[in-house]
Structures are given as C-alpha cells and as structure tokens.
Amino acid sequence: MRRVEDPPLLTGDTRFVDDLAPPGTLHACFVRSPYAAARIEGIDAAPARAVPGVEAVLTAGDIPGGLRAVLDRPEFTPTVMPLLAGDAVRHVGEPIAMVIADSRYSAEDGAEEVLVDYDPGPAVASLDRALAPGAPRVHDEMDDNLLLQVPMYDDPELDDILARAAALLEARFTTGRVTAAPMEGRASLARWDRRDSRLLVYVSTQVPHLVRTTVADVLQIPEHTVRVIAPDVGGGFGLKCVVGREEILVAAAALRLGRPVKWIEDRYENLAASWHGHEQRYDVRAAFDANGTLLAFDADISCDVGAYSCFPFSCGVEPLMAATEMPGPYRLAHYRARTRAVATNKVPIAPYRGVSRPQITFVMERVMDKAAARLGLDPVDIRRRNLIARDDFPYTGITGLVYDPASYRESLDLCAGHLGHDDWRARQEAARRDGRLVGLGFSCFSERTGYGTPAFAQRRMSITPGFESADIRMDPSGGVTVAVGTLGHGQGHRTTLAQVVSDELGVDPAHVRVVQGDTDATPYGWGTFASRSLVIGGGATKLAAGALAERLKRVAAHLLEVAVEDVELRDGRLQAAGAPEVSMSVAEVARVAHHAAHRLPPGEEAGLQARAGFDPPGTFSNATHGAVVEVSPATGEVRIHRYVVVEDCGVVINPMIVDGQVRGGVAQGIAAALYEQLLYDDEGQLLTATFMDYLVPTAAEIPPIEIHHLETPCEYSATGAKGMGEGGTIGAPAAIANAVSDAVGHLGIEVDAIPIHPAWMRARIEEARAR
C-alpha cells in the first residue's frame, strides 16, 4: 500500500519548520563557545546590537535557567544544562548569546560582534583523560567526572566460573562517537498569539507533548497556554526525542519580543552543537565451556556522555541500557556489570538510533566469534548453542527482562543458508589463493521495543514515558479521524495507522485521517522514539477503533432490531449474521448517530467517538544480519559484497515501510562501522564539523540489502506487531566487524574497535605480512 504522506513531499508542498514564515518573523542565531572549557569573564553585546538588522541580543542575564534531567538513583549526579551559558562553558558549541535579527544573515553578522571574554581552562576530551586521577573536572562542584557509576549486576560465583572456564576471553572494545545527522536539523519557530493568549511553538521534534510540558515548566507559564505543533519533520533518529536549549530559548525570545522568532539549526550547529552518541568502551571477560556454551560474562562499561545530561532521558540512557541488555539474545546464567557515564568537555549525548544496542551487539557478537575461533567451533554453531530457543519462552533473562517468543535460532539458520555458509570456507580459501581477502560475518540480536511505563519506570527518570492513547471519531458521512500522541516523521504512521483502523472498522483506508503532531488536537502522548509507535500507538489505535466498532454495532443492532451479538461489521456495512439483507452502511449509522440522535438506543451517547489507551510491557523483535566483505590490502578499504537481513518483527502491517526501516537502519549501521566518526582533539576542538569530514555514506557506499522475513506474532501487542525502527542500525556494525575479522583473521587481525578506518586496516595488514 502506497503512503498517504508521499504526494506533498514529492511536489514540494511541504511544511517543514523553515517552510513557515509568519509575517514579521525574526531570525535567531547563537554565539557558541569556541572553547571546550572556559570561564566567562564578561559578555559585551553592545557592538552586536549596533549591527544593521539586529533587533535583540539575549544572554543568560536575560533568560536564566536550564534543563536538569534527574534519575532517582544515588549513584547519579544531575547537571544543569544552562539555556545560555553565563559563568562557564563546558563544550565547544555551547550557546552563550542569542542574536535576533531581520534575517539569518544579519543575525550571523551580529553574532560575530558579540564580545565574550573567556578564560580558557584545561579540557578533558576523552575517556582516558576524564578518568585519569587528578583529571580536570567538567563540573567544578563534582569530585570527579563520573555522572553515573553503578555496579548493576553481580554474582558471587562469577569469578570462580571465569577462573575455571575452558575458554576465558578478555577483550576491550571501543565504538566511535557518531550523530544522527537528520537531513533537516533541529528547527523551531515560536510566536505569541496575542488574541488567544497562546504561545505557538512549531518545532521539528519527535516529542511534541514533551516539548510543551518543558517549555511551560521552564518558562513558568501554564501549560494549557502552550500549543506545540510538529509539522513535517525531516528525520530524527533520536536526535529530536529530547528537548534542547534552543527550542526553549526560541519560545522565550518570542514571548519577550512579542514577534515570531525562528531558529533553523545549520549543519555546523547540527554536527558541533546538537547531540552525539555511541562513544563507548567495554572491558569484558567471558567464560565458555569446551562445547562453546557461554557460562559467565563480566562487563565494565564506560560511556563518554559529554558535558551535560540530555533532558529528560539523562546521561544514564546509554550506560543503563548497555548493562541491562548486554546479554542480548543469548542464555546467560552468571553476569556482572559495572556501568558509568563519564563527563567530558564534548557535546552531550542523547538517544541515537539503537541506543547502546549497536555497541553491545558489536561486543557480544565479536565475543562469540572470538570464542568460536578459540575453541575451534563454527561461528554459526556457537551461536546456535547459546541463542534462546523456542522452548525457552517466555525466557526471563539474568537482568530480569522477560523475552517473549522470537525466532533467534531460526533467523540465524535462514541467514546462514542465504549466504551459503556451508561451503563458505572453501570459497574463502579459493579467494585467498587469488590474493583476495574476503570474509563472512553474522550478527544476531534482540531488539527490545514498545516498552510502556513499567519498563521505563525501571530507569527511574523524573518523567516516565510509555503509554499512548488514541481518540477516534466518525463524522456524519462515515469518515474517520483518529488522533494519536505518536508522531511519524518518515515512518509512514499516517498510512500504517489508517490501515489498522481500516482493518478494525472495515472502512476504506482513504476514509481514515490520522492526526498527529499538534498538542491541541491529540491526546497527551510520548511521541515517536525507541521503536514504540506501532506497538503502543498502534495498539491504542486498534483498541479505540475496536471500541468505536462496538458502538457502531450497538446502534446498528437497535436500528436493525437484531441482537447486538448478531451484528457483523464488514466492508463498510453492518449486517445481521446470516441475513445480509438486514443491513445498513456504516455511513447510515453515522448519520443517525449525529443527525437523528433521538433514534439511538437508550443510554447511547450522541455522536461516534471512542478513546483507548495502551501501555504494554514491551516485546522483542529479533534479526540476524550477515555480510560478505572484501578488504583491499592496498588501501585498507572494506567493500560489502552482500548484506542479508532476516528480520522478525512479528506481524508485518506494511511490508514496504518495514523494509524501508530496515534498509535505512542498516545504512546508518554501516556508516558507524566504516565511515562516520566525530573526532575531537585533546583540547576538545571538534575536527569533523562539516559533511566533508563527517562521512555520511552515499548511494555509492551502501550496498543492496536483501531482506527476508520471519513472523513470530507478538502476544503483548494488540496488532501482533513488534517495533522495528532500530534493528538495522543495531545489527550492522557487528556483522561488518565480524566479516572483516573473518577476512583478515588468518593474519592475526581482529576488529575490536569501530569505525574501521582504512588506514588502520592497511597498516595492520602490512605489519602482519612483514612478520
């Protein structure tokens, strides 16, 4: 089924934030710190105010306050991320002043004239420097740079098992800092509606209600006076599921100036001052018995989280996820994990597609391959031995997660079959005889999706997201409008949710309109992130549509004078079971419900609307990725010859959209494995602040991706569907790293760090050949 979202996006009839221009709009840009760590001794904005076109320059003195994310854990230290830095800056790109002018050009002219007197101090720009004894502290009031340090899991028998294991693997894994880089950066336009006394905020966000609450809280205005609209949103991938300083500042400036104020994040700001993620280090020990059974796992996890906690998820989002989900799809009885969030003078992290699961999957899948090599086992066999099996469900993992039925082993077998795993060694040998380095690698993983408030409550955030509601109503002509708190921004929710409603009500999807992204028109909800929308929002939608169907049946039964349990709803008609001639159309019922309400059954409310909420426990999608790669000894470059995904996300509602999510996700995972990395120097200067340096791959780098499906229906979701927005990104780095390690393993080279830079690879191959 084609997407209803497409036509305006194809004709240029778009409504992204920067496409909106209320009369009199002013344009903002920010003065951003050129230093990673400095005291601010003074700010002189007078010269900027004299620049032609500049209307105002605002500093922390004008707009005080900040964003403070809280976790209810004694091991957590909250940080206040100032809206505008007043006393000190803690990363390059931190906003210090907001210049508002008649155009972005003039605003940038003005920003150059704001004179800031900095007293630069020492910066910590890496995990090693931040953790070193006596290291400079990112936050003066702290004793060290540990914003969170938790011994999350322990086992008294663990050391003993590790000591006695047939194979004990010890390894360090690191993953590079990356960013979502949606093609549309962040964007915000706010205006004060004097007539209605409302603050209107148009924002490129994944979480409009959260923006509304945060704007109201920080600006101390009643929340009902704030209306947040997310119009077209040009990609998010997590970057827009947090609330940033700039969105609040734009709202504050619009209130203060009484004119519309717009800020469009440019690409420099997006790379250098937005949100980053995925820069982690793992020191692990894993014990296997001689048959390859994983006995025990000990993980020490450090996440470089930058200077502040993102709001509302906090800097715990990566370390807590990593420790909790480390075992992934494998049975594990003995586990220890210490996890920490380490402050550095770098851009803060926020959730980015996958949130720690690309990293833990990379770690666990590399461990599996290393163990296989150590024990002389086949990589597929060792995985099969350890994967959670059909008979194990529901499987309660060592960290307390309950795994619902999935197809871990089946997806691996299918993927291995598609890639010709059986005769791979022979083909690899033949290639090596021709001087070619080719490798095959797999990645098995679970993707926890659709988690509701009980699961989020375990994070102990001050705000617990999770539930969704749907409001559905039918108009007198039989047309359906459903309003949801989720927000598709590329995922095609307006199409898929219309399909869900259509299936439930038997009406043409073309007669179903999905409303999202306007806090005045939708029930309070948590937006779209963490692969939650189809499970939770889709569940609420299905339940609401089901409730509406029941109302239709009750009314029809009364009008047709048959028992309500005998009324069937199909193909847009309500009919008596076994007597199709006794029937009326949905539209006829709708007409009566609105225009002849006196004919409704006694006690039936006039009109046709229903509301339902949904708050499921969560469900696990799963997949196996497999890659065949070739490494060039001359250049160190990795080329991907084949990439196969066997995906199981339960019931597939729209196959085209599902495959699109997989492909896009894999592209971002390949990017993290081979191309993208944000690099800082020792002074905390970002070295990769352009698209010439931050290498988002093009169509020439991303190979065709073959997708196969298994379907293990979800028992906890109303639709049988599981979430699947992140799996592509989760699985790809491990598959690539394992394939590359397979290609060069005979030279003694193992990929334990991503991205895999060709210079590193070429040098290792040369060293190996020189030995």
Partner 1 sequence: MTAHEVEVVVNGSRRALAVEARRTLVDALRHDLGLVGTHVGCEHGICGACTVLLDGEPVRSCLVFAVQAHGRTVETVEGLAQDGDLNPLQEAFSRHHGLQCGFCTPGFLMLATALLRREPDASEERIREVMSSNLCRCTGYAGILEAVAAARPSGAPQEERRGA
Partner 2 sequence: MKPARFEYHRASSSAEAIELLDTLGEDAKLIAGGQSLVPMMSFRLARPSALVDIGRIPGLDAISVVDGGLRIGALATHAAIESTSDPAVLDGFDVLPRTARFIGHLPIRTRGTLGGSLAHADPAAEWCVLALALDAEVVVAGPSETRIVAARDLFTGFLSTALEPNEMILEVRFPHRPTRCSFVEHSRRSGDFALVAASARLDLEAGICRTVRIALGGVGPTPVRAVEAEALLAGRAPSSELRADAARAAAAALDPVSDVHAPGEHRRRLAEVLVRTALHRATGAP
CB nearer to partner 1: give 55 or 471.
55
CB 237 within 8 A of CB 270: no
CB nearer to partner 2: give 649 or 732.
732
CB nearer to partner 1: give 150 or 743.
743
- Binding test (CB under 8 A) with partner 2, winner from 687, 715, 748, 767: 687
CA 765 to chain centre: 36
Q: Which amino acid is at 402?
A: V
From the number of C-beta atoms within 10 Å of its C-beta (0-12, 13-18, 19+), residue 529 rates as buried
Span 35-64, contacts to partner 1 by CB under 8 A: 52
Q: How far is the CB of 270 from partner 2 (least distance, A)?
A: 10
Taking CB under 8 A as the rule, does residue 611 contact partner 2?
Answer: no
Taking CB under 8 A as the rule, does residue 105 contact partner 2?
Answer: yes
Span 433-472, contacts to partner 1 by CB under 8 A: none
- Binding test (CB under 8 A) with partner 2, winner from 140, 430, 635, 682: 635
CB nearer to partner 1: give 322 or 415.
415
Taking CB under 8 A as the rule, does residue 634 contact partner 1?
Answer: no
DSSP H or E run through 573: strand 573-576
Q: How far is the CB of 15 from partner 1 (least distance, A)?
A: 8
CB nearer to partner 2: give 335 or 694.
694
| Residue 758 contact among partner 2, partner 1, none, beta carbon within 5 to 8 Å by kind | partner 2
Q: How far is the CB of 126 from partner 1 (least distance, A)?
A: 27
**Which are the contacts of 697, defined by CB distance < 8 A and separation ≥ 6?**
667, 670, 671, 674, 675, 676
Taking CB under 8 A as the rule, does residue 695 contact partner 2?
Answer: yes
Taking CB under 8 A as the rule, does residue 745 contact partner 1?
Answer: no
CA distances (Å), 477 to each of 113, 575, 632, in order?
A: 60, 18, 64
Span 330-359, contacts to partner 2 by CB under 8 A: none
CB 231 within 8 A of CB 198: no
Interface mask toward partner 1 for 474-513; x: CB under 8 A: ---------------xxxx---------------------
DSSP 628-671: EEEE-TTT--EEEEEEEEEEE-BS-S-HHHHHHHHHHHHHHHHI
**Which are the contacts of 359, defined by CB distance < 8 A and separation ≥ 6?**
173, 175, 278, 280, 282, 322, 733
Q: How far is the CB of 27 from partner 1 (least distance, A)?
A: 10
Q: Which amino acid is at 249?
A: L
Block residue for tokens 């420097």: 129
- Binding test (CB under 8 A) with partner 2, winner from 634, 704, 770, 771: 634
The rounded distance, in Å, linking the Cα atoms of 335 and 333 is: 7
CB nearer to partner 1: give 159 or 266.
266
Taking CB under 8 A as the rule, does residue 18 contact partner 1?
Answer: yes
**Which are the contacts of 564, defined by CB distance < 8 A and separation ≥ 6?**
553, 554, 557
**Which are the contacts of 505, defined by CB distance < 8 A and separation ≥ 6?**
480, 512, 545, 548, 549, 552, 569, 586
Interface mask toward partner 2 for 43-82; x: CB under 8 A: ----------------------------------------
And the tokens for 749? 């080279």
- Binding test (CB under 8 A) with partner 2, winner from 121, 221, 268, 420: 268
- Binding test (CB under 8 A) with partner 2, winner from 18, 109, 325, 369: 109
Q: Report the SS3 class of residue 8.
A: helix
From the number of C-beta atoms within 10 Å of its C-beta (0-12, 13-18, 19+), residue 126 rates as buried
| Residue 374 contact among partner 2, partner 1, none, beta carbon within 5 to 8 Å by kind | none
Q: How far is the CB of 294 from partner 2 (least distance, A)?
A: 36
CB 85 within 8 A of CB 33: yes
Q: How far is the CB of 415 from partner 1 (least distance, A)?
A: 14
The rounded distance, in Å, linking the Cα atoms of 731 and 445 is: 7
How many Cα atoms within 13 Å fall on the side-chain side of residue 446? Answer: 29
Taking CB under 8 A as the rule, does residue 675 contact partner 2?
Answer: yes
The rounded distance, in Å, linking the Cα atoms of 60 and 429 is: 65
Block residue for tokens 């889709």: 538
| Residue 11 contact among partner 2, partner 1, none, beta carbon within 5 to 8 Å by kind | partner 1
- Binding test (CB under 8 A) with partner 1, winner from 423, 698, 769, 770: 698
Taking CB under 8 A as the rule, does residue 104 contact partner 2?
Answer: yes
And the tokens for 60? 């922390």
CB nearer to partner 1: give 235 or 479.
235
**Which are the contacts of 757, defined by CB distance < 8 A and separation ≥ 6?**
636
Interface mask toward partner 1 for 656-695; x: CB under 8 A: xx-xx--xxxxxx---------------------xxx---
683-703 as b/e: b if 16+ CB within 10 A: ebbbebbeeeebeeeeeeebb
The rounded distance, in Å, linking the Cα atoms of 568 and 565 is: 8
- Binding test (CB under 8 A) with partner 1, winner from 21, 163, 521, 763: 21
Strand partners, 378: none
Listed ranges 372-380, 600-608, 655-663, 744-752: which one lies at the site for partner 1 (CB under 8 A): 655-663
Q: Report the SS3 class of residue 56.
A: strand
CB nearer to partner 2: give 10 or 759.
759
Q: How far is the CB of 418 from partner 2 (least distance, A)?
A: 27
From the number of C-beta atoms within 10 Å of its C-beta (0-12, 13-18, 19+), residue 453 rates as middle
- Binding test (CB under 8 A) with partner 1, winner from 55, 94, 232, 369: 232
Interface mask toward partner 2 for 174-213; x: CB under 8 A: ----------------------------------------
Interface mask toward partner 1 for 169-208; x: CB under 8 A: -----------xxxxx------------------------
- Binding test (CB under 8 A) with partner 1, winner from 617, 703, 745, 758: 703
Interface mask toward partner 2 for 228-267; x: CB under 8 A: --------------------------------------xx
Span 700-759, contacts to partner 2 by CB under 8 A: 700-701, 757-759
Q: Which of 179, 313, 315 is nearest to 242 (CA)?
A: 313
- Give the chain's end-to-end CA distance (angstroms, integer): 58
Angle between helices 758-770 and 727-744 (to 10 degrees): 20
Hey, how many other C-beta atoms are within 10 angstroms of the C-beta on 454? 13
Taking CB under 8 A as the rule, does residue 630 contact partner 2?
Answer: no
CB nearer to partner 2: give 18 or 471.
18
Residues that bind partner 2 (CB under 8 A): 104-105, 108-109, 112, 266-268, 634-637, 675, 679, 687-688, 690, 692-693, 695, 697-701, 757-759, 762-763, 766
Residues that bind partner 1 (CB under 8 A): 2-3, 5-7, 9-14, 16, 18-19, 21, 52, 105, 180-184, 232-235, 237, 264, 266-267, 489-492, 628, 630, 640-642, 656-657, 659-660, 663-668, 690-692, 696, 698-706, 728
